[in-house]
Amino acid sequence: MTVLLAASPLSQPFFQHAFLAGTAIAAASGLVGYFLVLRAQVFTGDALSHVAFTGAMAALAFGADLRLGLFAATIAMALLFGTLGRRARPDDVVIGSVFSWILGLGAFFITLYTTSHSTTNGTAGVSVLFGSVFGISSAGAVVAALVAAGVGLLVVVIARPLLFATLDEAVAAARGVPVRLLGYGFLALAGISAAEATQAVGSLLLLGLLAAPAGAAIRLTDRPYRALALAAALAVLEMWAGLFASYAVPSMPPSFAIMAVATAVYAATFLIRRPVPGPRTRTATAVPAGT
């Protein structure tokens, strides 16, 4: 029965919008997420995604468009993180301190918004935190898809030097690769894709979209480009599966369904034995206890 139900949703406009935006967002998140995982910057991605919440709330509190706040906050934060860290790779403690304050600020703006604006949109806070992919308008979906496609394209364009800079920073720098610039550029892209993905799965959950497909792809293959493509493909498939599952079971929020599928796929990769040990990142060696 669920199969029959799941076959029809593509005729529904709201589902088409979610499908269009979701597909592009998932692909961009998969690509960006792969590099976040490879560069050991998952925590940065986490902070960026949470900061998106504050940006959105601030925009709402000042009566601006929610998306404006999303993009401004995440890009500004990404560049700030770039400046704070050595070679555009900030320290965990610094990230933690800055982003917990920004989140606190988000709590302030959400109260400001819900108390000042006669609560016409009282659940805005919750939908920013947890996403409302089925609520995307057709214009919003097109914009989201275009931006996400742009992000994905840029990641593919810089993939080669970025990979070099990630796997062997010192050698890449010596060969004339602009390591620092790439670090900044990548963080900015991560910021944009965080703002994008927030609209679909919410600022608290998008980390799963960044980390799970990438983690699964890295477990499945050791070839960097294959893993990059696989991460994007997995993210898109997980997004589709989540959307259809949530349509079939209406009491299940779409963001939960997407996360559940992504987690299940990642968990499944642990059942498959890895053939050879994967590429090692340089950053991991500097950390004695790990995170």
Q: Which residues bind other proteins (CB under 8 A)?
A: 37-38, 40, 42-43, 45-46, 50, 86, 91-101, 103-105, 107-108, 110-112, 115, 125-126, 129-130, 202, 204-212, 214-215, 218-219, 251-253, 255-256, 258-260, 262-263, 266, 278, 280-281, 284, 287-291
- Whether the CA torsion 219, 228, 286, 47 is positive or negative: it is negative
Give Rg (Cα) of the chain: 19
Nearer to other proteins, 142 or 252 (CB): 252
3-state DSSP: the chain helix, strand, coil percent, rounded to 5? 80, 0, 20
**Residue 172 or 201 having the CB closest to other proteins:** 201
Distance CA 80, CA 171 (A): 26
Least separation in angstroms between CB 72 and other proteins: 20
Smallest distance from the beta carbon of 120 to other proteins, in angstroms? 16
Please report where in the chains the tokens 């982003």 appear, as a residue.
99
Q: How far is the CB of 102 from other proteins (least distance, A)?
A: 8
Cα–Cα separations (whole angstroms), residue 127 to 20, 92, 122, 171, 270: 19, 28, 10, 45, 32
Least Cα distance to 162 among 26, 36, 24 occurs for 36
Compare residues 176 and 275 and give the one whose CB is closer to other proteins.
Answer: 275
Nearest to 165 by CA among 184, 180, 185: 180
d(CA 148, CA 129): 20
User: Residue 108 CB, nearest distance to other proteins (Å)?
Assistant: 4
Q: Which is nearer to other proteins, 149 or 233 (CB)?
A: 233
* Least distance in angstroms from the C-beta of 219 to other proteins: 7
Q: How far apart are the first and last CA of the chain?
A: 45
- CA pair distance 227, 202, nearest whole angstrom: 25
Nearer to other proteins, 16 or 263 (CB): 263
Q: Give whichever of 77 and 262 is closer to other proteins, judged by the CB atom.
A: 262
Neighbours of 290 (CB within 10 A): 6
> How far apart are alpha carbons 229 and 198 in whole angstroms?
22
The DSSP code sequence of 147-166 is HHHHHHHHHHHHHHHHHHHH
CB of 242 to other proteins, least distance (A): 10
For the bound state, the minimum distance from the C-beta of residue 215 to other proteins, rounded and expressed in Å, comes to 3
Q: Identify which of residues 19 and 113 has a Cβ nearer to other proteins in the complex.
A: 113
Which DSSP state fits 270?
T
Smallest distance from other proteins to CB 76, Å: 16
Which of residues 179 and 206 has its CB atom nearest to other proteins in the complex? Answer: 206
